[in-house]
């Protein structure tokens, strides 16, 4: 069998088209890899090869025969949907998410369920109720979260693509920690029908791949208007690979977010990697401009309040009556609610529900929730003003590389600050693409993000692809896989 573990989607398509492999061989090849590297913790379930179906069995689909994984908060009919929570253990999805349906229509076989932080709440994948995920580059470190399983699987060559979800950075942070490409799309570009809600005004599903072109292809298969999701934008389906020429648009103006790149506490190896990335863009013909986004400083605090408030409302539905776990020994209805929710949710989820109800409660909502909404508008305004001066912003995804498992067990604030550079874009609803831009001396990936105005995905892919062609980072592989 040809070595396919780290092949690009286009390379696997070529093998399929020239009949060097069959689509069933590709499926079993990646199932074997997922099983062989099960101790990475990336998946919660790998399906039996014979049970895998595709809606499109003609080879016309743009992802025909290209297997992937879905994060365990995205519904696939007849498959478990647990959000890595005891509260949904044994729960089976009754319908397909729109993204699931569209990917299958594009011919993609879906191989299993990717591990995640419980209900997508976390930055390290350590809050999964079932098992932790390890970073393929150094298994004593976290892959980042909350889409840690989706990302680790792609980084270790266990699947060519996966889907994660973003509320405050859950695709981009792990993508940077593991050296892969991850997109947070414009709010409303990708349907959330069938995505278990965390904070509905922020949530988006995003693709994870090893190259920019692969990412653009997966987005092309799933983005675009969906009548099932009332927050879905009325935009046509687009081919996001159309501008991948290796060139950047003439006269491109890149804004360097100076207060991020030179922020206090930035690891100098990361600042250096970003400086070098800026030089690559200069060589490609871009002009470089300093931009300051002072409101970024309020991002994490604002996100903290808005995400908890919405989570408290969204998770009220897991009451022991409608879904999953139920305490059958309770004597009264109130006791049943209380003990089911206590036993079903992990400590992180319970803490967030408590905070969310607090910031929304009478007497406090004005101080917390209403102020957070004001700060959110300020952040959006700053981004909009920046895009009057430049076409795209370049900034770090994170101030440091992947940290050790357990590093922040006793420091919740540090864990919450992991979203410092990422959650602003969720609050503003704009797209951001994370891609690898370096390696530390200890061989850990470094990531950066390119941020654009609403619906600029095609353009972000164009310039990211041009950058990628000039640099070696996407070709690097973790040892042992």
Q: Rounded to a whole number, what is the largest CA-CA distance in the chain?
A: 71
Pairing state between β 253-257 and 204-209:
unpaired
Q: What's the closest the beta carbon of residue 469 comes to ligand GLN, in angstroms?
A: 29
Rounded to 5 degrees, φ, ψ at 306 are: -65, -40
Give the list of residues 6+ apart from residue 51 with CB closer than 8 angstroms, or none. Answer: none
Cβ 309 to ligand GLN shortest distance, Å: 12
Least distance (Å) between residue 317 CB and ligand GLN? 18
Nearer to ligand GLN, 173 or 439 (CB): 173
Task: Write down the catalytic residue from 87, 165, 170, 191.
Answer: 170
- Return the residue of 125, 135, 146, 399 that touches ligand GLN, per CB under 6 A: 146
Q: Least distance in Å: CB of 294 to ligand GLN? A: 22
Angstrom distance (rounded) from CA 282 to CA 301: 34
62 binds ligand GLN (CB under 6 A): no
Q: Which is nearer to ligand GLN, 99 or 277 (CB)?
A: 99
Instruction: Answer yes or no: 170 catalytic.
Output: yes
Among 7, 26, 103, 121, binds ligand GLN (CB under 6 A): 121
Minimal distance, residue 349 CB to ligand GLN, in Å? 10
Number of residues that bind ligand GLN (CB under 6 A): 14
Burial class (CB in 10 A: 0-12, 13-18, 19+), 90: exposed
Q: 3-state DSSP call for residue 375?
A: helix
| Interior/surface letters 270-300, b for 16+ CB within 10 angstroms, e for the rest | bbebbeebbebbeebebeeeebebebbebbb
In the bound complex, what is the minimum distance in angstroms from residue 83's beta carbon to ligand GLN? Answer: 11
CB of 195 within 8 A of CB of 83?
A: no
Q: Could you tell me which of 239, 260, 220, 241 has the C-alpha nearest to residue 464?
A: 241
- Residue closer to ligand GLN by CB (options 67, 145) is 145
**Residue from 419, 428, 452, 464 in contact with ligand GLN (CB under 6 A):** 419
C-beta closer to ligand GLN: residue 198 or 383:
198
CB of 225 closer than 8 Å to CB of 236: yes
Listed ranges 119-127, 288-296, 406-414, 428-436: which one lies at the site for ligand GLN (CB under 6 A): 119-127
DSSP alpha helices (H): ranges in 345-440? 347-360, 371-389, 412-416, 423-428
Q: Which stretch binds ligand GLN (CB under 6 A): 46-54, 118-126, 239-247, 323-331?
A: 118-126
Residue of minimal Cβ distance to ligand GLN? 170
Q: Which of 82, 150, 302, 307 binds ligand GLN (CB under 6 A)?
A: 307
Distance, CA of 392 to CA of 397 (rounded, Å): 15
Question: What residues are paired with 195 via a beta bridge?
Answer: 74
Report cis status (omega within 30 of 0) of the bond before 258. no
Distance between CA atoms of 104 and 54, rounded to whole angstroms? 5
Q: Which of 120, 277, 379, 432 binds ligand GLN (CB under 6 A)?
A: 120
Q: Angle at which helices 23-36 and 9-17 pack, to 10 degrees?
A: 140
Two tokens at 442?
């200890």
- C-beta of 198 vs 387, nearer to ligand GLN: 198
Which of these ranges, 75-83, 121-129, 391-399, 465-473, lies near ligand GLN under the rule CB under 6 A? 121-129
Q: Which residues are CB-neighbours of 396 under 8 A, at least 6 positions away?
A: 260, 261, 266, 270, 271, 274, 421, 447, 448, 449
What binding mask, one character per residue, do residues 183-202 give for ligand GLN by CB under 6 A, x or -?
A: ---------------x----
Task: Tell me which residues in 310-369 interact with ligand GLN (CB under 6 A).
Answer: none
**Part in contact with ligand GLN (CB under 6 A); list of ranges 120-128, 133-141, 188-196, 449-457:** 120-128
What CA–CA distances, in Å, run from 31 to 4, 11, 24, 180, 478? 12, 18, 11, 20, 19
Tell me phi and psi for residue 421, to 5 degrees. Answer: -90, -10
Binding mask 153-172 for ligand GLN (x = CB under 6 A): -------------xxxxx--
Q: Going residue by residue from 443 to 462, which x/- string records binding to ligand GLN, judged by CB under 6 A?
A: --------------------
The residue among 267 and 348 lying less far from ligand GLN, judged by its C-beta, is 348
Which is the catalytic residue, given 13, 43, 71, 162? 71
Task: State the Cα–Cα distance between residues 110 and 349, nearest whole angstrom.
Answer: 28
> Would residue 292 show up in a list of annotated catalytic residues for this protein?
no
Q: Measured between alpha carbons, how far is 326 from 333 in angstroms, rounded to an integer?
A: 11
Q: How far is the CB of 307 from ligand GLN (least distance, A)?
A: 5
Q: How far is the CB of 123 from ligand GLN (least distance, A)?
A: 4
Question: Among 87, 123, 124, 146, which one carries the catalytic annotation?
Answer: 146
Q: Say whether residue 123 binds ligand GLN (CB under 6 A).
A: yes
| Count, residues in the chain | 481
The least CB distance from residue 145 to ligand GLN, in Å, is: 6
Binding flag, residue 85, ligand GLN (CB under 6 A):
no
Interface residue with ligand GLN, options 61, 65, 68, 122 (CB under 6 A): 122
For the annotated catalytic residues, the residue numbers are 71, 146, 170
- Which residues lie near ligand GLN (CB under 6 A)? 120-123, 146, 166-170, 198, 307, 418-419
């Amino acid at each position: 069998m040809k070595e396919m573990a780290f092949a690009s989607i286009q390379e696997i398509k070529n093998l399929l088209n020239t009949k060097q492999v069959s689509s069933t061989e590709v499926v079993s090849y990646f199932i074997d890899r997922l099983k062989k590297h099960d101790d990475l913790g990336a998946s919660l379930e790998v399906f039996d090869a014979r049970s895998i179906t595709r809606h499109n069995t003609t080879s016309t689909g743009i992802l025909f025969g290209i297997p992937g994984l879905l994060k365990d908060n995205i519904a696939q009919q007849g498959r478990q949907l647990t959000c890595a929570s005891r509260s949904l253990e044994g729960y089976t999805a009754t319908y397909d998410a729109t993204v699931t349906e569209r990917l299958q229509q594009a011919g993609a076989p879906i191989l299993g369920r990717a591990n995640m932080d419980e209900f997508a709440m976390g930055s390290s994948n350590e809050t999964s109720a079932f098992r932790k995920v390890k970073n393929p580059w150094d298994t004593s470190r976290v892959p980042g979260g909350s889409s840690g399983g989706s990302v680790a699987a792609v980084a270790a060559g266990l699947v060519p693509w996966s889907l994660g979800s973003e509320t405050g950075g859950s695709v981009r942070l792990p993508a940077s920690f593991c050296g892969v490409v991850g997109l947070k799309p414009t709010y409303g570009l990708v349907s959330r029908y069938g995505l278990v809600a965390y904070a509905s005004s922020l949530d988006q599903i995003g693709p994870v791949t090893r190259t920019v072109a692969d990412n653009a292809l997966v987005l092309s298969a799933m983005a675009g208007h969906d009548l099932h999701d009332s927050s879905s934008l009325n935009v046509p389906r687009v081919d996001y690979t159309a501008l991948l020429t290796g060139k950047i648009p003439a006269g491109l103006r890149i804004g360097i977010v100076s207060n991020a790149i030179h922020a206090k506490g930035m690891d100098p190896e990361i600042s250096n990697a970003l400086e070098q990335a800026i030089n690559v863009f200069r060589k490609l013909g871009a002009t470089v401009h300093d931009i300051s986004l002072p409101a970024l400083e309020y991002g994490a605090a604002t996100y903290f309040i808005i995400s908890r408030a919405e989570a408290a409302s969204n998770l009220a539905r897991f009451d022991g009556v409608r879904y999953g776990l139920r305490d059958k020994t309770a004597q009264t209805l109130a006791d049943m609610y209380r003990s089911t929710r206590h036993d079903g949710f992990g400590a992180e989820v319970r803490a967030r529900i408590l905070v969310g109800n607090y910031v929304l409660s009478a007497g406090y909502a004005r101080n917390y929730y209403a102020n957070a909404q004001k700060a959110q508008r300020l952040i959006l305004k700053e981004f909009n003003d920046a895009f009057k001066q430049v076409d795209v912003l370049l900034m770090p995804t994170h101030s440091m590389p992947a940290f050790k498992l357990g590093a922040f067990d006793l420091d919740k604030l540090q864990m919450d600050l992991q979203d410092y550079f990422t959650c602003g874009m969720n609050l503003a609803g704009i797209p951001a693409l994370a891609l690898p831009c370096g390696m530390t001396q200890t061989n850990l990936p470094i990531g950066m993000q390119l941020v654009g105005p609403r619906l600029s995905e095609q353009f972000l892919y164009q310039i990211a692809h041009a950058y990628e062609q000039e640099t070696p980072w996407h070709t690097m592989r973790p040892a042992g896989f």
